[in-house]
Structure formats: structure tokens, C-alpha cells
Amino acid sequence: MIDLRSDTVTRPSEAMREVIAQAPVGDDVYGDDPTVNALQERVAALFGKEAGLFTPTGSLSNQLAIRSLVKPGEELLTETQSHIVRAELGAGAVFSGITTRTWPSRNGILKASEPLEIASPNAGPYLVSTTAIALENTHNFGGGTVQSMHEIAELRRESLKLGLTMHLDGARIWNAHVATGTSFAEFGSHFDTVSVCFSKGLGAPVGSMMLSTSDRIAEARRWRKRYGAGMRQIGILAAAVDYAFTHNIERLAEDHHRAKVIATACAQVSPTLVDPELTHTNIVAIDVTGCSRTAGELVAELAEVGILAGAMGSKLLRLVTHMDFDDQQLDRVLELLPDLLKRSLVA
């Protein structure tokens, strides 16, 4: 099977497994694991932050970050299709009493004026006050789109005037870095908290990290334990992440190229399906509104011919390229996917 459901389906390489086996470890609940301590310091420094906290999932990293910025009953603004509000099962409300309000956008692409128009800080005793704004880069459900640094900088500048903080859901920030050449420090400079994920695109088997000030990270460590995610000898995971972080970032350009090839082939069937110009990174988001089959039905038909894809609702078919997807598999996808879409459009 050719698995394009996500870039999280990759398997550790033999070299990564060797590093895992040799990792020095300690009890991280006591702060004694040297491998994860070194990794947290390394990643935090790269983003220009004081400290980092390793977490098992990106959802937890996001949740620890936003609860450090937003008090119960206060408001977080984020884009309508963002992971925080669509794919974390209401965790901000359940665990932290956070209310959210969203602004819609095309393909998840930020225009600073849009969140600023709905921001309502210091709303008084009868209305919810906005405290923070969360951005996603790259934007998952937007099709892996990369946010404009000009718009991010403008939002940061204007939101600071309003007394608001900002969080970056940077699960695939590695892809944004490779696509634009923007440094991690530049990304980090515009946000009070950052979440990054190592199992997306980089080939690590598990792991994310929250980055912020030392005080926020100390508090997040307590909440991580409170949520039941205090881990012991996690150096074996941190070693895999460190290997992935060292060896697998620049090669993401290959994933971007293959995704663009797939998007271009689908656009040749019909420009309504996908705009290759908006396929910035490794996610191909195909709009099947004009097809006679739903995204779920197309997923089932693709599986029958050996291709696994994802349905993001009934109208969006998603394919995600990754390091275990090669040119031979790409040729097979190009042979089968456009034909299936063509038959679906004509039916």
C-alpha cells in the first residue's frame, strides 16, 4: 500500500533505531534525563526561546501553551479551520475553560486585519475578553499553506498594542522553513509560545515540544504531570527526535516537489480540484465538490487500488507526502489518481 494519509505514518530508519538503543537516559519526572534535556535546550535556542518542554503529542503541546496565555473564561482567537479548534476535541474548553472565536480565511492564509477586526480585549464585565491569538503554520486543513511573515509581523505589532499574546501552532514549521528559507528564530520572535511536532515530516516516531519563557515552561511541566503525561526514561524518544531534527529537515524539499507534481496532475484534470500554486509544501488538498463521489467514497476507491488517502469531511480529499514515499510510488499515484478523479467528474 502507498500510504498518503499523513506524514506521521513514517517508520524509524535503522540509523535512528541505533541511536534510540544507545541513548543515555534518566527519569524525566525528576528532570534527570540528559538526552531530553539537551534536546529541549537545543530546540528552544533555535527558536530564540528560553526553554522547551517535550510532550508526547502536538495537541498536548498546544494545550499547555494556550492555557499559559488564556485564563478560564477568557477568549482565544484562531482561524476557523485551525487544528486547535477542529482536531483537538474541544480540549481548550474541557481542560482549561478557554472560550474560542474564529475568523474564516481562504486556504487558512492569514490576513492580519481579520483577527484584529474581531479582537475584543478588556471587554468589560458582560462580554468575553480576548486574551490571545493562535496561528497555524503551515496550515493543515488549508492544504499545507505557508503564512506570510509580513502578515504575521503586522499581527504581532498591532496585537501587542491591544495587550494580546500570540501562540504558534508550528506542527509543520519545518516545512514552512524549507519552503521559504525563514529562520526558526524569525518565526519564534513573533510569538509568546510555540508548539512544534517532530513526528510530522521528520520521521520521528513520536514527540512534540512547547517553547516559551522559563517561567511558562516550569508551569507547563506541572500541568503536563497533572494531565498524566509525566514521562520517565524518555531519552529513547528524544534521541530519535534529535536524529530526525539533525538529518531530515532539508530533505522536506523532496516531499514538497512530489506534492506539487501530484497537485499539478490533478489540476490538469480540472482546475476546480486544486490550485498547484497553493500547494506550498507537502499537503495536497483536493476539493471534490464537483465530483459525483464524496471524499470518503474516493478514499475507499483509492484503497482498492493500493493508495491510502484521507477524507477531511465530505468535500476534501487530502494526500500528504513524506520521507517513506518515493518516486516509484509517485509514478503509481500519477497513473491512478487523475484517472479516478476524471471518471468521478464525468459521471
The answer to whether residue 1 sits within a structural domain is no
Residue whose grid cell is 496565555: 69
Residue whose grid cell is 491591544: 162
Would you state the pLDDT for residue 111?
98
- C-alpha cell at position 97: 475553560
* Tally of CB atoms within 10 A around 181: 8
Judge if 341 and 275 occupy the same domain.
yes
Judge if 289 and 177 occupy the same domain.
no
- Rounded to 5 degrees, φ, ψ at 75 are -115, 135
Q: Which amino acid would we find at residue 104?
A: P
Consecutive 10-residue averages of pLDDT for the chain (347 residues) = 97 96 97 97 98 97 98 97 96 96 96 98 96 98 97 98 98 98 98 97 96 98 96 97 96 98 97 96 96 95 97 95 97 97 85
The answer to whether residue 268 sits within a structural domain is yes
Backbone angle region of 85, left / alpha / beta, with phi > 0 → left and psi within -120 to 50 → alpha: alpha
Cis peptide before 294 (omega within 30 of 0): no
The answer to whether residue 225 sits within a structural domain is yes
Judge if 197 and 276 occupy the same domain.
no
Of 47, 41, 95, the closest CA to residue 68 belongs to 95
- As to burial, measured by CB atoms within 10 angstroms (0-12 exposed, 13-18 middle, 19+ buried), residue 210 is buried
Residue 275 CA to residue 277 CA, distance in Å, equals 5
Judge if 255 and 219 occupy the same domain.
no
Judge if 188 and 69 occupy the same domain.
yes
Q: Does residue 9 contact residue 324 with C-beta atoms inside 8 Å?
A: yes
Residue 249 CA to residue 257 CA, distance in Å, equals 14
- C-alpha cell at position 215: 517561567
Domain residue limits at 102: 14-247
Of 239, 236, 223, 276, the closest CA to residue 63 belongs to 223
Would you state the pLDDT for residue 127?
96
Judge if 91 and 219 occupy the same domain.
yes
The residues, ordered by sequence, that sit 6+ positions from 127 with a Cβ below 8 Å of its Cβ are 120
Would you state the pLDDT for residue 13?
94
Judge if 192 and 257 occupy the same domain.
no
The answer to whether residue 2 sits within a structural domain is no
